[in-house]
Amino acid sequence: MAGSASPTVDVFIRSYHRDRAWLALALRAIAHYLHGHRRVVVVMPRSSRDRMGETGNVHVEYCADYADDYLGQQITKLHADLHTDADVILHLDSDQVLVAPCDVRQLFDGARIRIDYRADGNRPATDGWRRAARDFFGDEPPWDLTVPPPLAMPRELYAGLRAFCLRRHGCTLIDYALRQGADRFCEFALLRGYALRFAGDLCTWSTAPPLPQCRTFWSRRETPAGIAAQLPAALAQESWTTCPSA
């Protein structure tokens, strides 16, 4: 993290037009509850530019379109350092909602970044996501690394991960992901796996989530309106289609 006494932290969200209502809610929650970050960076495919609606006072960038955008969003996250110059990148998904006040200082253990894992993951050894780290790195990691975000990562790890892919697999990380397919590729398992192997002096590993105030929903099954009763009154909104400032 370039030896910075107070590293800059950007929130990174990869979204697309079908998740615009979720993104509106996520941004509202960040604006209301999260403290200590520099800015929110939202990246979306170019095809979503005219269909996303107002995104408010956040930094918006665009990325390539992919035939399978679920895989595409994983690829984009592994290139997050190309969209922000922050020392630390905090990944959140559109359907993840902060429900209580929190500070980015919770992401740190002193100068180290806290990374969570599952000591006893419920994914079987044959699961494609569980196998993703093993297939990529060549051996079995000691833990289940497929935990969803929030996940904070030092920016230098992204370029290191991509360079590792070139050395080991002889192709770019994009090509590797496309060959694997969405059911055999897990971006967060690869990020955690690389940190575990090569960034031991930068990270502290924990089974406790760094931001327990974050609720994870499932945008493919749920809607913001449908889960509104589970949210704090501060996040109540008549319309879930307009993104606020964050």
**Alpha-helical regions (H) of 78-123:** none
User: Which burial class, exposed, middle or buried, applies to 86 when counting CB atoms under 10 A from its CB (0-12, 13-18, 19+)?
Assistant: buried
Main-chain dihedrals φ then ψ at residue 35, nearest 5 degrees: -130, 150
Task: Tell me, yes or no, whether 243 lies in a domain.
Answer: no
Structural domain count of the chain:
1
Task: Tell me, yes or no, whether 100 lies in a domain.
Answer: yes
Task: Tell me, yes or no, whether 242 lies in a domain.
Answer: no
Domain that holds residue 53: 9-235
Task: Tell me, yes or no, whether 240 lies in a domain.
Answer: no
Query: Given the structure tokens 């509104």, which residue do they identify?
Result: 228
What global pTM score does this model have? 0.92
Please tell me the distance from the alpha carbon of residue 144 to that of residue 133, in angstroms, as a whole number. Answer: 9
pLDDT tens readout for residues 110-138 = 999 999 998 876 777 778 898 999 999 99
| Whole-number pLDDT of residue 114 | 97
Task: Tell me, yes or no, whether 66 lies in a domain.
Answer: yes
Task: Tell me, yes or no, whether 246 lies in a domain.
Answer: no
Task: Tell me, yes or no, whether 231 lies in a domain.
Answer: yes
Q: What is the CATH number of the domain that holds 212?
A: 3.90.550
pLDDT tens readout for residues 81-115 = 999 999 999 999 999 999 999 999 999 999 999 99
